């Protein structure tokens, strides 16, 4: 039952960006993941639901409407993206410090995990369960009179898992939260 008068503190921060590669996602089965890896220095994550809406008209008016969320677009800005992480997320190879992006590379799916911090010190934890990254936007610039940081931006699509139809999970310290949730959030998917 939903409680009335729930209060929630506003978000003021973001941290603890982690990924785990999706190894299998069988229909009607159980999805399996590789080891959870921390990727440091997350700056921002924008989440945009891709909603499709339709209306049914009859007798000169709308008599029904339907809406479906097909996927989620994630835009992830990080302070720096070492080649090892870039190769991992995009399915490229890296050897002796040289990353090679081949035309036949296929970016694997990942679970993406992070937490948003709130003004009151509480947290909201989030996991997108089936995410595929695209090549990052990079904007190198020459050094000028003032310092201007150039940070990479990753884009990704989050879709529904085949195994169970789930796209994401969230847990909030201000709503039915248990300490066990935070203690294991980044250990397994």
Whether 2 is covered by a domain: the verdict is: no
Q: Looking at residue 85, what is its pLDDT?
A: 96
Which residue ranges in the chain fall short of pLDDT 50? Answer: none
The count of domains in the chain is 1
Whether 48 is covered by a domain: the verdict is: yes
What CATH number is attached to the domain comprising 75?
2.30.110
Whether 4 is covered by a domain: the verdict is: no
Instruction: Report d(CA 18, CA 31) in Å as an integer.
Output: 18
Pairing verdict, β 93-95 and 61-78? unpaired
Whether 1 is covered by a domain: the verdict is: no
Q: Which domain holds residue 69?
A: 12-181
Whether 36 is covered by a domain: the verdict is: yes
Q: Token pair of 158, please?
A: 């989050």
């Amino acid at each position: 039952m939903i409680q009335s008068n729930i209060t929630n503190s506003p978000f003021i921060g973001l941290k603890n960006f982690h990924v785990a590669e999706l190894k299998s996602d069988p229909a009607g089965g159980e999805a399996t993941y590789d080891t959870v890896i921390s990727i440091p220095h997350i700056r921002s994550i924008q989440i945009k639901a891709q909603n499709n809406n339709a209306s049914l008209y009859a007798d000169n008016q709308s008599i029904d409407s339907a809406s479906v969320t097909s996927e989620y677009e994630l835009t992830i800005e990080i302070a720096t993206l070492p080649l090892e992480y870039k190769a991992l997320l995009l399915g490229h190879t890296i050897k002796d410090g040289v990353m090679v992006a081949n035309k036949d590379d296929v970016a694997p799916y990942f679970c993406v995990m992070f937490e948003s911090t709130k003004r009151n010190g509480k947290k909201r934890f989030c996991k997108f369960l089936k995410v595929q990254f695209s090549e990052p936007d990079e904007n190198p610039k020459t050094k000028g009179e003032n310092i201007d940081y150039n940070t990479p931006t990753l884009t990704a699509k989050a879709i529904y898992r085949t195994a169970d139809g789930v796209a994401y999970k969230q847990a909030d310290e201000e709503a039915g939260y248990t300490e066990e949730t935070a203690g294991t959030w980044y250990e397994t998917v």
